């Protein structure tokens, strides 16, 4: 069975945890887009691991983790991550990590440009500052440098020279910033090439062969539907296609090989970075939920913005991704609330809209229409099965299921692997 796991909100839904659980029964675990802007947290044996580029299943033995062609790879960040994992006495070598020769490489000028645009541009996105946007821009402009190019000294030399010629002009004249030295980057990146060479692979062939031989593949989405370049709250999005459709482009595996798409949502909503957020808390609830849910970015440490569950968004995400099952995460964070709200539609200029608006002004100014549900007001972290949850907690989940339109199969009530309730009908 080949399964895709995608975020159905603005990222940080808890994808890492569901991937960790489902990877037990998968042979290949594949990242298909994004880069080290992602932060996937997995808690195993009391230890907390945060993965940015390496698929979260690296902790399991006998699994092949794949970084697909759709990913942008910062070699420095990747090598640091490999080091951290190896320090935990976990093996990372060519037998369990494969990197697509077609993946694009993040360079220091991408990271600097990302930050300069945020500081000096007029349209602050609140990026993670990891150079993701500029690297994808180069890919689309056809002057990007791929992993295969990095491994070929003659090609790498030529492409880097070409890039620096144009980019140094921009850094100098537009941003009044220092220029980059060809020699320094060439030397640094040739070193990374030597260290990463063993992982190089035509991952599209590898995965297709695996699928043909009946192996199971788990596709690990990063970010979330509303950070998707095409379907998110543009321009406040990331620069890749995080929806399930992105996995075909980002891996070379065709749509007919995907058996199921699982969407991950929080029992409420969070967003980090700029951009519209209709159900954002305006009251003291912001601090309360942020504290209880430890809502600080896993990559940048920034405080996340928090708000009520938005069924308008999740319904749209279910449609766009083809989600048939949902995992609802962090239900325990709502334990103490007397009343819990769900946004069922938006109101703009007297009109009610039930569908996710594509007009930026509507998204920015719409007022959410809420329905209210009584809270359960007791701790649920120790509950062993779904049926043992307080009645109001079950009612809340059942309402989310009905209003979203996809089966809720997993309910998470804590950060550990074990704190995940399986819901069978």
Question: Binds 127, which of ligand IMO, Mg ion, none (CB < 5 to 8 A, cut-off by type)?
Answer: ligand IMO
Residue 82's binding partner among ligand IMO, Mg ion, none (Cβ under 5 to 8 angstroms by kind) is none
Return the biggest CA–CA distance within the chain. 66
Task: Considering only residues 319 through 358, tell me which ones interact with Mg ion, judged by CB under 5 A.
Answer: none
Rounded Cα gap, residues 300 and 50, in angstroms: 12
Burial 258-273, CB ≥16 within 10 A → b, else e: beebbbbbbbbbbbbb
70 binds, among ligand IMO, Mg ion, none (CB under 5 to 8 A by kind): none
Q: Which entry of ligand IMO, Mg ion, none binds 317, CB below 5 to 8 A by partner kind?
A: none
* Beta carbon nearer to ligand IMO, 101 or 278: 278
Q: Which of 12, 74, 149, 310 is catalytic?
A: 12
For residue 235, count other CB atoms closer than 10 A to its CB: 12
Instruction: Let me know if 40 is a catalytic residue.
Output: yes
Phi/psi of residue 274, nearest 5 degrees: -80, 175
Backbone φ/ψ region at 142: left (φ over 0), alpha (ψ -120 to 50), beta = left
367 Cβ contact partners less than 8 Å away, ≥ 6 residues apart: 278, 346, 347, 348
- Cβ atoms of 267 and 14 within 8 Å: the answer is no
Question: In angstroms, how far is CA 97 from the centroid of its own chain?
Answer: 19
| Minimum CB distance to ligand IMO, residue 125 (Å) | 5
Nearest residue (CB) to ligand IMO, 98 versus 304: 304
339-348/367-374 β-pairing:
antiparallel
Cα 93 from Cα 196, distance rounded (Å): 10
Q: Give 46's DSSP letter.
A: T
Interface with Mg ion, residue 298, by CB under 5 A: yes
> Interface residues for Mg ion in 20-59 (CB under 5 A)?
39
Minimum distance of ligand IMO from residue 239's CB (angstroms): 6
Residue closer to ligand IMO (CB basis): 109 or 236: 236
Binding site for ligand IMO (CB under 6 A): 7, 11-12, 37-40, 125-128, 130, 132-133, 222-224, 227, 236, 238-239, 272-273, 298
**Rounded to whole angstroms, how far apart are CA atoms 41 and 414?**
12
Smallest gap from residue 299 Cβ to ligand IMO (A): 6
Tokens 């075909």 -> residue: 248
Q: Does 144 bind Mg ion (CB under 5 A)?
A: no
- Residue 100 host element (H or E): strand 97-100
DSSP single-letter state for residue 416: B
Cβ proximity to Mg ion: between 34 and 39 the closer is 39
The residue from 3, 12, 242, 251 that contacts Mg ion (CB under 5 A) is 12
Name the residue whose CB lies closest to ligand IMO: 273
Work out what residue 125 binds among ligand IMO, Mg ion, none; the CB cut-off runs from 5 to 8 Å by kind.
ligand IMO
Can you tell me the distance from the alpha carbon of 84 to that of 78, in angstroms, rounded to the nearest whole number? Answer: 10
* Nearer CB in complex with ligand IMO: 11/278: 11
Residue 176: active-site member: no
386 contacts: CB under 8 Å, gap ≥ 6 = 394, 411, 421, 422, 423, 424
What is the three-state SS of 326-380?
A: EEEECHHHHCCCCEEEEEEEEEECCEEECCCCCCHHHHHHCEEEEEEEECCCCCC
Question: At its nearest, how many Å lie between Mg ion and the CB of residue 213?
Answer: 32
- Nearer to Mg ion (CB atom), residue 78 or residue 206: 78
Which is nearer to ligand IMO, 10 or 308 (by Cβ)?
10
Distance CA(163)–CA(150), nearest Å, equals 13
- 187, 150 contact by CB (below 8 A): no
Q: Which does 37 bind (CB under 5 to 8 A by kind): ligand IMO, Mg ion, none?
A: ligand IMO
Residue 130 site contact among Mg ion, ligand IMO, none (CB < 5 to 8 Å, cut-off depends on kind): ligand IMO
**Choice among 20, 25, 27, 40 that is catalytic:** 40
Q: How many residues bind Mg ion (CB under 5 A)?
A: 3
222 binds, options Mg ion, ligand IMO, none, Cβ within 5 to 8 A by partner type: ligand IMO
Quote the tokens at residue 195: 């260290």
To ligand IMO, the closest distance from the beta carbon of 127 in angstroms equals: 4
| Site membership for Mg ion, residue 293 (CB under 5 A) | no
Which residue number, 261 or 298, has a Cβ lying nearer to Mg ion? Answer: 298
Active site residues: 12, 40
Residues that bind Mg ion (CB under 5 A): 12, 39, 298
């Amino acid at each position: 069975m080949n399964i895709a796991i995608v975020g159905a909100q603005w990222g940080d839904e808890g994808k890492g945890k569901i991937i960790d659980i489902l990877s037990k029964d998968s042979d290949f675990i594949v990242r298909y887009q994004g880069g080290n802007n992602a932060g996937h947290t997995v808690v195993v044996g009391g230890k907390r691991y945060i993965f940015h580029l390496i698929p979260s299943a690296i902790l399991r033995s006998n699994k092949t983790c794949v970084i697909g062609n759709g990913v942008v790879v910062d070699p420095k960040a990747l090598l640091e991550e490999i080091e951290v994992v190896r320090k935990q006495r976990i093996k990372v070598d060519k037998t369990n990590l494969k990197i697509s020769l077609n993946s694009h490489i993040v360079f220091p000028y991408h990271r600097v440009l990302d930050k300069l645009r945020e500081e000096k541009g007029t349209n602050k996105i609140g990026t993670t500052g990891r150079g993701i946007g500029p690297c994808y821009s180069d890919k689309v402009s056809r002057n990007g440098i791929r992993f295969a190019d990095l491994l070929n000294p003659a090609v790498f030399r030529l492409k880097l020279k070409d890039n620096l010629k144009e980019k140094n002009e921009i850094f100098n004249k537009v941003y009044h910033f220092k220029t980059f030295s060809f020699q320094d980057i060439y030397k640094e990146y040739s070193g990374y090439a030597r260290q990463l060479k063993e992982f190089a692979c035509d991952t599209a062939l590898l995965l297709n062969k695996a699928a043909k031989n009946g192996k199971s593949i788990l596709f690990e989405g990063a970010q979330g539907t509303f950070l998707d370049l095409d379907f998110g709250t543009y321009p406040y999005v990331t620069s890749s296609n995080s929806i399930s459709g992105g996995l075909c482009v980002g891996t070379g595996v065709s749509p007919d090989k995907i058996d199921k798409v699982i969407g991950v949502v929080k029992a409420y909503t969070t967003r980090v970075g700029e951009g519209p957020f209709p159900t954002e808390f305006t009251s003291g609830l912001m601090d309360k939920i942020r504290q209880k849910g430890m809502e600080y970015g896993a990559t940048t440490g920034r405080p996340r913005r928090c708000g009520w569950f938005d069924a308008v968004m999740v319904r749209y995400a279910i449609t766009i991704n083809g989600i048939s099952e949902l995992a609802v995460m962090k239900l325990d964070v709502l334990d103490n609330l007397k009343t819990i709200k769900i946004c069922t539609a938006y109101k703009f200029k007297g009109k009610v809209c039930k569908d996710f608006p594509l007009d930026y002004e509507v998204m920015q100014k719409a007022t959410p229409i809420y329905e209210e549900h009584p809270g359960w007001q007791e701790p649920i972290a120790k509950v062993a099965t779904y049926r043992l949850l307080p009645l109001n907690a079950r009612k809340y989940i059942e309402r989310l299921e009905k209003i979203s339109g996809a089966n809720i199969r997993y309910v998470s009530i804590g950060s550990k692997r074990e704190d995940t309730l399986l819901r069978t009908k």
